[in-house]
Amino acid sequence: MNKKHTEMLDFDKKHVWHPYTSMSKPLPSYLVESAEGVYIKLASGEKLVDGMSSWWSVLHGYNHPQLNKALIEQSQKMAHVMFGGLTHEPAINLCKKLIAITPKPLQKVFLSDSGSVSVEVAIKMSLQYWHSLGKSEKHKLLTVKNGYHGDTFAAMAVCDPVNGMHKIFESVLMKNIFAPAPQSNFFQTWDDSELITLEKIFAEHHHEVAAFIIEPIVQGTGGMRFYHPKYLQACREYCDKYNILFIADEIATGLGRTGKMFACNWADISPDIMCLGKTLTGGYMTLAATLCTDDVADTISNGAAGCFMHGPTFMANPLACAVANASLKLLETGEWQQQISFIEHFLQEHLLPLNSHYRVNNVRVLGGIGVVETVDAVDMEYIQKRFVELGVWIRPFGKLIYIMPPFISNTEELSLLITAISTVLDEAPCFV
């Protein structure tokens, strides 16, 4: 690494605040020079197979020619224009595509600029919906423990209140209602005994609950937990029975990652409101969408306010919309189904055997997601360094070493990821 790179990293360490990192004792950051396909190239020369899809967002790989082309062509027309009183073709085309691929009742699209904001929008929609109906007493959210929905304030208020990352903000967050986390494993025989407690909570609190929000099938940051589709079906049934809106947070699970276009498809249910983000632009730019039914949109629009009270400056950014259209066009070919099926079968064959390792508590695979849950927590700094030395980019947390590789990953690249995981499991310094 040359002097310039060293100086850059020096400045970064002293002045740049990275996510979930202390400024007084920051974790090391690795300087990226470029990225291509599934590889991240560091300034120090290493080429790393990306097992994280850059926090689950890079579907089709880095530097994709069709996404690059869409970005360049749109930049020559306009990079941005306000969406208040104006509209444009990239946004209109994107909304057409989203309505076409999401469950049929979702007919209205509100575009925003990040996943967390799409959750904020969904929560505001649900609250304004009931306010418009003269039922402002329905002002709380119902959700499940072990959930994660983002780092902004309303989103934090529906993340796990005990084991989540936001406990220090508890005194200033909305007070919502939490049901036990789903217990029935995706792969096990369904046991409906846990629904007794769940329905009891719906019955007791429905008069004050505006909406129920959940990550369909996969609880991500709350533990990479895969739960049974029957549980999700029951949630939809209880929302209907007790007159509560259903919000599906598909930010991490949407657009193919679990093996279905949307995780809701595993349970064959439709939400009243759906949140999308992360993968929407194939990992190129920040963009999110909140979709809702005609009923939700019409009720809000015909209420006292006469409009929905939200409007981000960069909503429907033309550059982001153009790239999102190109990304969705790649998904429209259907190739993603073969890609995810290949990744799933490869992980089942080569990752699941790590279940027998003495440092492993459980290994699970669903679609393009592979999770190794260890007995002890990882030493983040040490294990990250070892993964880089082994030629991969995997960023674990707690007791979870997981991968969500880009859809285009091949046998050699997946093998390198699994070999790296197997290697660190044998090394004591990698764990606390």
**Which position among 249, 272, 284, 402 bears the catalytic label?**
249
Cα distances (Å, whole numbers) of residue 155 to 80, 119, 165, 232, 357: 27, 6, 12, 20, 37
Residue recorded with tokens 């009923």? 295
Q: How far apart are CA 212 and CA 389, in angstroms?
A: 44
AA identity, residue 420: A
Q: Which distant-in-sequence residues (6+ apart) come within 8 Å of 401 by Cβ?
A: 371, 372, 374, 378, 383, 394, 421, 424
d(CA 386, CA 290): 39
Q: Are 251 and 277 in contact (CB under 8 A)?
A: yes
Choose the catalytic residue: 148, 238, 284, 402.
148
Is-catalytic flag, 227? no
Q: What is the dihedral of CA 91, 292, 102, 249, to 10 degrees?
A: 100
Question: What is the maximal distance between C-alpha atoms in the chain?
Answer: 65
Does residue 145 carry a catalytic annotation? Answer: no
The partner residues of 262 in beta bridges, in order of sequence, read none
User: Which of 3, 14, 20, 175 is an active site residue?
Assistant: 20
> What are the strands, taking DSSP E only, across 63-208?
106-112, 140-144, 177-179
* C-alpha angle 47-50-52 in degrees, rounded to nearest 5: 155
Identify whether 402 is a catalytic site residue.
Answer: no
Task: Tell me the two tokens of residue 164.
Answer: 């989540």
136 phi, psi to nearest 5 deg: -70, -10
In angstroms, the CA 136 to CA 308 distance is: 16
Pick the catalytic residue: 97, 138, 260, 278?
A: 278
Amino acid at 26: P
Question: What is the spatial distance between Cα 217 and Cα 219, in angstroms, rounded to a whole number?
Answer: 7
Give the three-state DSSP class for 48.
strand
382 a catalytic residue: no
Catalytic residues: 20, 148, 249, 278
